[in-house]
Amino acid sequence: MDLQQQQPIRVVFVLLPGSLVLDWAGPAEALRIANQRLRAAGQPERFAVEFASPRPTSISSVGVALADLAPLPAQWNGPAWIVLVGLPGDFVPIDNAETQELLHWLRGQRFERGRLELVTVCAGALLAAHAGALSGRRATTHHHHLDELRSVEPRCEVVANRVFVIDPPVYSSAGVTTGIDLVLHRIADVCTEALAAQVAQTMVVAQRRGPHDPELSPFLAYRNHLHAALHRVQDAVSEQPQADWNVPRMAEVAHTSARHLTRLFVEHAGVAPLAYLRRLRLAAAQLALASGASVTRAAEISGFGSDTQLRRAWHQFGLPGSPSAAASPSKA
């Protein structure tokens, strides 16, 4: 169907008291800019954005009062997205009148690809789970809420450490800025890749992330624990991944034996110490390649002994393409 003839998509951001501003403001801005670009090209707007809530007024996560919010839609005419966003706190409470009203409304919706689709940002996935919308689906959420999501909806395949997950008609993102990544992907889907690229450029989003990219930087991953000695080792390795590290030297930093340090890594970080080191070195090599270094130079400054070791780690951790492809043509 020609873009001129396509019906606008009604995008309803559903807000509760305390809704995280970045979860909805960033994606909404992306849609506004997409419409602006379409108008400039002589094409009709593709997205009709509105904000709804169980109450006409609400207070955002940063204390800004929101007024004139629309009621939760009673019917749909044409394609629409419901966007659920996160809330502050260690868990998502549902024992209040507004949330109960929202969940009752959600349970009455019938999601279908191309008709009524569900988009969640951050802990908005928990609201969808409480309403039963994620049963039998693949979804993600903020890494602090992964276990909560598994508990609320055991029939959901919870995907960890991904920017966003696509399981039409459900689209979920990990949280905060990843909502922008997801909406850019959706703009590319329903409009064009070129338009999504223009929106990203306007928003100064340097690199669009996709559904297979990790939510967390390798320098932040494997650190969801409270073991002080292990954090001390991880800090030292993160600061100098290119240093001549081995397990005994890491153990010296932790003031423990090499065998005990290996147990600590596996138990608390979920990764072996040398695998952790290789992942950090690989991240350092990626940064070097992105900055214009050759494969040989990237391997050298990140601590790999050779190009071959870098390539081996690249494939071991399932990165797409190759180091040569990631380097600029003149540097590969």
Interval 222-280: pLDDT, tens: 877 778 899 899 889 988 899 999 999 999 999 999 999 999 999 998 999 999 999 99
Is pLDDT larger for residue 215 or for residue 147?
147
| pLDDT value at residue 1 | 39
Q: In this structure, what token pair is assigned to residue 273?
A: 């110490």
Domain topology for 228-326: Arc Repressor Mutant, subunit A (1.10.10)
Q: How far is CA 111 from CA 63, 70, 103, 117, 189, in A?
A: 32, 21, 14, 5, 18
Give the H or E element holding residue 59.
strand 58-59
| Confidence category of residue 208, pLDDT binned at 50, 70, 90 | low
Q: Is the dihedral of CA 102, 107, 109, 111 positive or negative?
A: positive
Q: In this structure, what token pair is assigned to residue 302?
A: 């990140």
Q: What is the DSSP string of 160-184?
A: PS-SEEEETTEEEESSTTHHHHHHH
Interval 48-93: pLDDT, tens: 999 999 999 999 999 999 999 999 999 999 999 999 999 999 999 9
Rounded mean pLDDT of the chain? 91
| pLDDT value at residue 93 | 94
Per domain, the residue ranges of the chain are 3-202, 228-326
| Confidence category of residue 2, pLDDT binned at 50, 70, 90 | very low
Q: In this structure, what token pair is assigned to residue 146?
A: 């992964």
Contact 285, 264 (CB under 8 A): no
Q: In this structure, what token pair is assigned to residue 160?
A: 């960890």
Contact 212, 162 (CB under 8 A): yes
Cβ neighbour number for residue 155 with a 10 Å cutoff: 10
Interval 97-155: pLDDT, tens: 999 999 999 999 999 999 999 999 999 999 999 999 999 999 999 989 999 999 999 99
Q: Does domain 3-202 have CATH number 3.40.47.10?
A: no
Which residues, 6 or more positions from 215, have their beta carbon under 8 angstroms from its beta carbon? Answer: 140, 143, 160, 161, 162, 163, 174, 175, 178
Q: In this structure, what token pair is assigned to residue 177?
A: 């800025």
Q: In this structure, what token pair is assigned to residue 120?
A: 């969640």
Interval 162-207: pLDDT, tens: 889 999 999 999 987 899 999 999 999 999 888 988 898 888 775 5
Is pLDDT larger for residue 180 or for residue 2?
180
Residues in the chain, overall count: 332
| Confidence category of residue 325, pLDDT binned at 50, 70, 90 | confident
Residue listed under structure tokens 């689709």: 117
